[in-house]
Amino acid sequence: MTMKVGTRQVDGVTIVDASGRITLGEGSVILRDTVRDLLSKGNKKIVLNLAEVNYIDSSGIGELVSAFTTTKNQGGELKLLNLTKKVNDLLQITKLYTVFDVKDDEAAAVKSFK
Amino acid sequence: MGLRLSPPPGRILVFTSFMAMTEQRVSYTLDSSLETIDSAEEKATRIATELGFGEDEVMQISMAVREGAVNAVLHGNAYAADKKVTLAFERIGNELVITIRDQGKGMDLSKIPNPLAPENLLKTSGRGIFLMRSFMDVVEIRPSSTGTELKLIKHVHGPTAGGKEASQ
């Protein structure tokens, strides 16, 4: 299953609902293009909802890091929401879990932006 | 001595009896393309499932193979059309041994940074070998000027382990 994304606005925060696989090739490119597009339009409060993302490889992990740092470098914030166990485990073993701001409740995630 | 099956490039070898022998080998010669990476992962998933690995272990094996294939296609062969990736699965006793070879220039293992070091945490690449080592029981990397050989080993804990031969 390839990756699909949809975006919606909640109280000034952009929620990116992703599903499928974030892997080398199409999945990583879709994520990169989506975040860049949001930032270029001034949407700098981003929540990446990964509830339906069932697989990420090392390239996908790199793309999450890239999205996080690119957003931060432009004065924004990117948070992760609803990690599946597999993605959660991957972020734990790569020690990235503490780097990202990870939320498990959408309303709380939206409120957490300054 | 295990059975060696080498299909021509691009051909998918269908086999249904990997579990039926305590020693068996199947190998594939694949192009240096993105499709090879997905294909290698799919093959690993199928074979690991056949061998009776649990869902989490199948995921670990398929991901390790995917990362190995990424390294072979991207970093080894650099997508070169004239270079191939060979992928082999062997059941040896109670081990699944997976070998991935490329035809690249080799790699300097000493230059691979530790992805867990604080200064490397925000790097966007360099986690492939770390993930393989996290998911497999043994990871051996043998670089040379004519290519790199990667060996991934996972101990079989399923019902076919322990030298018990299934009926054919």
Closest residue by Cα to residue B129 from B111, B105, B147: B111
| Separation in Å, CA of B105 to nearest CA in chain A | 22
Q: Which amino acid is at A86?
A: K
Cβ–Cβ below 8 Å for B122 and A69: yes
Per residue in B89-98, pLDDT (tens digit) is 999 989 999 9
| Separation in Å, CA of B166 to nearest CA in chain A | 32
Per residue in B113-159, pLDDT (tens digit) is 999 999 999 999 999 999 999 999 999 999 988 899 999 999 987 55
Name the strand (E) or helix (H) holding A44: none
Q: Report the sign of the C-alpha dihedral through residues B65, B75, B4, B38, in that order.
A: positive
Q: Report the sign of the C-alpha dihedral through residues B70, B72, B114, A92, in that order.
A: positive
Return phi, psi of residue A28, to 5°: -65, -40
Strands (E), chain B: 23-31, 84-92, 95-101, 138-144, 147-155
- Give the one of A25, A66, A99 whose C-beta lies nearest to B124's C-beta: A66
Full-model pTM? 0.85
Tokens of B45: 């998933």
Q: What is the ipTM of this complex?
A: 0.91
Cβ–Cβ below 8 Å for A96 and B121: yes
Cβ–Cβ below 8 Å for A57 and B134: no
